[in-house]
Chains A and B, each alone.
Chain A
């Protein structure tokens, strides 16, 4: 019950302020995309009528570099493992905040983003300063298909971010053990995987055991507010304490414009496994994730 309430409050917080002006609207192949501007920040939403609005990306109008959402800061936990990423893959573009932030921090890194919906790519370019360049590429494709193709060509990444969930519908084929094994196959030796996922509902347990099944271990990086990312990869688990120590070493003023504080991020890492280990692993054969999500 409390959990439900927390989710409700969290979702309410996502609804744009009443005075936000709609500056763009488009019905794409997959969803309704809305861009709003409340004077302070510009946001992209995927709206389903009569349901809650899920905020995809927000950008401060007068400080576009600064990350608006804490979850984006949690995603930076991968830097504690791999402080100098060279090949980054982002599955799920949104407004392109993550690839652009990485590009500004690591201009030499090759950053590929995969987004199923070409209309989202357009919106990212038009309203959120997302720019393609020699080192920043975007591929309009289903994430699973892209990863399979990348595996075929032995393409590898040392920092992979899974961010393909928009809150109202979860692509089932991006939640299974087989999918994670395919992702693992394009992870370079020592590479890190960060997944932006779910903290509420029964799915939390299924998802956690599925990551454990594919990678052998996983850790939460999460806040009580409901934000949660998973960290795992091709390396042995590292304790929270060790990560905090690393964060102190990695402190650098160049993170400041983005509002990234690696020590803060490291402190959100949890060493304990608080999920039910008996939960069923999700596979291509069994992945009723949208049904499980609705079920608290």
Chain B
């Protein structure tokens, strides 16, 4: 029970981070590509494409010895994938602008790909993998998936709201990104730790039996 709550909490923060980053995407691209409707179109497209690929990968990964430790490792990868957004945003947009100055539509699409694609794919892996960690039998799989989507989408809603209503008023864009990387890292470390502890216990229980 506690284990399930823990996995759901991690999924919540995964959903939170994805949408917080998507909200910031508009702010990150605006200095180079403006805030026209197609800039938002680019961002949403790239997030959707990246998430769909992440779901696919997550499903496949869950087939091979799923564990909480690997799940934690995934969060650490997500955390590491967020930081380049801070460091490379300027040079990436500068480069894209250099070649695509004529057409901000494809310019923003390309820049959004360069900046957000990899971290979003990584974060897309979280949900299907979490489903696998929670499913114990086929009968309950639908209700587990439903609960998980509920939690991670609620996390997304919270991420959008907190970012657009408050974070941008309190912090700089890069500070928020570092905070998200921090949240993902804490999620990852705690998942790995719990995974290791549970693994030991499982071994101990196995030895007693």
Contact = CB atoms under 8 A, between A and B. Distances in A.
B60 interface: no
A284 B101 contact: no
A286 B35 CA distance: 16
B36 interface: yes
Interface of A: 29-30, 116, 141-145, 148-149, 152, 171-173, 176, 178-179, 283-288, 291-292
Contacts of A152: 101
B102 to A, nearest CB: 8
B35 to A, nearest CB: 6
28 contacts: A29-B37, A30-B37, A116-B34, A116-B36, A141-B34, A141-B104, A142-B35, A142-B104, A144-B31, A144-B32, A144-B34, A145-B32, A145-B33, A148-B97, A148-B101, A172-B27, A173-B27, A173-B31, A173-B35, A176-B31, A179-B31, A284-B30, A285-B174, A286-B171, A286-B172, A291-B165, A291-B168, A292-B169
B158 interface: no
B173 interface: yes
Interface residues of B, number: 20
Contact of A144 (B30, B173, B174): B30
A142 B35 CA distance: 7
A119 to B, nearest CB: 12
Nearest to A178: B31
A285 B173 CA distance: 5
Contacts of A142: 33-36, 104
A11 to B, nearest CB: 24
A142 B30 CA distance: 9
A174 to B, nearest CB: 9
Given A283-B172, A287-B168, 13 more contacts: A142-B35, A142-B36, A145-B33, A145-B104, A173-B34, A173-B35, A176-B31, A179-B31, A286-B168, A286-B171, A287-B27, A288-B169, A292-B169
B35 A285 contact: no
Contacts of A288: 168-169
B34 to A, nearest CB: 3
B169 A291 contact: yes
